[in-house]
Each structure stands twice: as structure tokens, then as C-alpha cells.
Amino acid sequence: MTGGGLLVAGTTSDAGKSVVTAGICRWLVRQGVKVAPFKAQNMSLNSFVTREGAEIGRAQAMQAQACRIEPTALMNPVLLKPGGEQSSQVVLLGKPVGELSARTYHGGRQEQLLGTVLDCLAELRGTYDAVICEGAGSPAEINLRRTDIVNMGIARNARLPVLVVGDIDRGGVFASFFGTVALLSPEDQALVAGFLVNKFRGDVSLLEPGLDMLHGLTGRRTYGVLPFRHGLGIDEEDGLRVSLRGTVRESDTAAPVGEDILRVAVCAVPLMSNFTDVDALAAEPGVVVRFVDRPEELADADLVVVPGTRGTVRALEWLHERGLADALVRRAREGRPVLGICGGFQLLGEHIEDDVESRRGHVDGLGLLPVRVRFAHEKTLTRPVGEALGERVEGYEIHHGVASLTGGEPFLDGCRVGSVWGTHWHGSLESDGFRRAFLREVAAAAGRRFVPAADTSFAALREEQLDRLGDLIEQHADTDALWRLIESGAPQGLPFIPPGAPA
């Protein structure tokens, strides 16, 4: 027996597909439905390692948590990790299989993966009552339709009804909904059941005449209007999408416990990966996290984080170009806290031998930690557990660089020298006891009267966020109609909207 299914598409990238998918998953699991997430192809620099050692997008790991199940490679069979504007590393079923240009990938390689993608979806549908699939970008990208395996390509092959999400906060949502349908072929249009408005502010009654007109124009109903809510943009997918300079990481936490706040500056390096590592810091009362790209912005920071990156050598060059490298060296000499994570840890070392990622050979690092890094062809994908600062720590590793320590005090799998820390472990700051102990050390080194809250649980805060997403669906969407879509597919007799897809 095949379980029900739904594809959540969007009028644009960042329309809210990931959070809507998570919200539908959390709503369903609270109704006793056995549900799983799925995204055929994900382009993201924010990834996660499953228990079996497979790399998938963090958004799908978050959606699996919404379903209250363990994430697996089946939920994101194809992950693309950009290495620049023109190429990406292709991760298939959790393991890297090569580096491809966009032209090569869309020129035929993507289409070859359709069978694998459909097999993964079929296996999930054979195991779960429902599978909620997330699309990518827009289903009306007519230049890519022939080789599409993540939007209408998979919807048509798996006979999935499609719900199109639009971000009304950006404006133009009615034109976007109409145009999305009108640029699809008749066969694809027959699967587009209707729309979901996201991030609405104001009185819904003022929107309803437009929704009625949209129904008259397209023959398709709107399944809900979700209000705008702060702090729900969890586990973003694309590190290339926007410049993060000056962006303050949102949190809905309480006022500081101690007399001071703690300021954290995150260097917004090129190809930044897993910047979700700092979400646990932002969740702490009294911790302000912002992304920066100028040395002046480090002056008042109590902690500087150099995050992971898909281009360690390029990030190192960028730090030098911006003057941030000199600022980091000065901080270290002054005993002011710096934390390097994964690629950020590697570039804090003495030197890097890279014949894999940048193919630049020997490159001098910043020399702040006694570490030498050699890039291996095989990627390390693990879920380590250890201890640091007297506390248990869990994390995950995703890297080609192999670090050899020549000194320093052990710190997770990395080391510490004075107030400079480095580790390959992503996610370590989600371990509450360790995070509090680390922040106490940072506050002492920075001379701040900051006190970590004794009861902040990052896991509980994440659960609260997921429940808030489920509440949005339950309270502001027509859940009976959504369930009929999932169980029975798109309504019959949906009208064709010209002109349709170009020949």
C-alpha cells in the first residue's frame, strides 16, 4: 500500500516551503499520522549528518524532527553543495560523488537521477502514512522543466498533488500565483490543487476579495492564509542567497540573567556553511549574534566566530582582503575570544595542504592554533560524542580537511590556545551544559558580567518552534481539505490556464 503525499512548491525561493512543510508534518504527527519529509534535490550549504553517516540538507533534518523521526538519506537523496557561482559538489544518497558545473548537471546528469529519486520516495511512501515533499525554487522555471526532478517532474511521475506557497510580504503574490500556474503544461497544471498565502500581516477580510478573484481566474482555491510570525526562519538552506552582513540572528528569549549582554560577531565568509551553528548562541538570553564583514565590527565583539565554509582557502583570502585576518590576529594576541568551527578552525591553523577543494597546494593559515591541515579526497561524515569543559558534547562532522595537532590544549577533536578555540564539530553548541560552560569562559575572558541562564534548553526551544509551525497550519489552514489532498490527490477537472508552458 502506498501512503498519501503532497508536494509543497513555491512561487519563488524563500517563499516559505521549508517551514510550511515542517508545519504540515508537525500538524499531521500530532493527529497520529505516521509522516515523513522528502526533498528530491536540495541546494544548500547547511547540511547535517544522519546516524548512518549520510549527509543531507539541514532543512530535511529539521522536518524529520517535526515528524518525530530520525532523518535518513532517503529524505534528501540529492544534495548540491555550491563551491562557487558555477559548480557544486553532488552528494548522492548521503555520499559525495563528484563536482559538476551547472551546465553539466542540468545538461543531463540531473535527469539520470530521477529513477533514484523516485525509488527513495516510493520507499518512504511504502513505510509512512503520508510523505510531505518540498519543491525547490519555482515549479515554473521553464528553462529547467525538461530535466526537473524536484518540482513538477517528481509530482507528475509520483502523481502528487501540488500546493503552491506565496510570500505575500514581498508583494505581487496574486500575479505570482496566477503566473506560476499559467506557465505550466496542461499535464502539470492538472496537479496544482491550489495556493497557500504565507507571511500575511493585517486583516484577512481585506485579502479575501482577492482570493475569490484568484479562484475565479484559476479555478483553484486557497487552502490557508498564514500570518507573519517572527523567529520561524529555522535552518535556512542557502548560504549563497543573501549577504548576511549586519544581520542579527533572531531570538525570542528573555532578558539577560547577569548585568551584561554578550556580543557575538560571525565572520560572513564566502560559501559559509552550517551557519545554523550559532542559532544555539542566539537562543541564550542576553546573547546578541550578528554577521559581519568589516574589521571595525569586531571591535566591540566579546566573541568572534569563524564558521564553516565550502571554500576554506577562499575564505582565508577573503579575511585577508577585508582586513579581518589582521583583526583576528590582534584579538588572539590580546587574549580576546575567537572560535573557529570546521573550515573556520582549519584556517586558524599554521598551514593548509589543499589539492582537493581549491587545488592551491600549500597555503599559510593565520597561525593562531598549532594545527596543520591536509585535504583528503574522502569526506569525513560522523556523529561524534565527547566531553569538553567538564560537560558532555554531541556534534557532527562534515569535512575533507584532516587536522594534525602539534600542541595546544585538547578541545573536542581540535585544540585551544588561550582564548582561541578550534573544532571540526558542528552542532556542539546545542549541548546545553557545554554551551553554558563555554559562554562562562568567554564572558570571563571578555571581562563581561554575563551569566548564562541555568534553564535554557535548545532542544526544547526547537520543539516549541516546530509546535508553533504546526499551530499555524492547524489554526490558519483548511486542514480537512489538506488531508483530502494528501489522501486522494488533486481534485479532478481543474481548468487549464493559458498560455501554458512553451513548446
Which are the catalytic amino acids? 342, 426
Distance CA 305, CA 469 (A): 29
Cβ–Cβ < 8 Å for 80, 275: no
Instruction: Give the number of other CB atoms < 10 A from CB of residue 103.
Output: 10
Block residue for cell numbers 484568484: 214
Ramachandran angles phi, psi of 182, nearest 5°: -65, -15
Distance, CA of 124 to CA of 23 (rounded, Å) = 19
Beta strand extents in 155-307 (DSSP E only): 162-167, 192-200, 221-227, 262-267, 272-273, 287-292, 303-306
Q: What whole-number distance in Å separates Cα of residue 323 and Cα of residue 319?
A: 6
| Torsion over CA: 379, 68, 20, 292 (sign) | negative
Q: Which helix (H) or strand (E) holds 340?
A: strand 338-341
Is residue 227 packed enough to be buried (19+ CB in 10 Å), middle (13-18) or exposed (0-12)?
middle
User: How far is Cα 42 from Cα 26, in angstroms, rounded to an integer?
Assistant: 21
What are the distances in angstroms from CA 421 to CA 279, 346, 364, 441? Answer: 18, 11, 18, 11
Which amino acid is present at 345?
F
Residue 389 corresponds to which amino acid? Answer: L
The side-by-side arrangement of strands in the sheet containing 192-200 is 35-38, 130-134, 4-10, 162-167, 192-200, 221-227
Cα separation, 292 vs 298, whole angstroms = 8
Amino acid at 52: E
Give the separation between CA 438 and CA 430, rounded to whole angstroms: 12
DSSP reduced 3-state for 181: helix
DSSP state, residue 107 = I
Q: Look up cell 600542541; give the residue.
A: 407
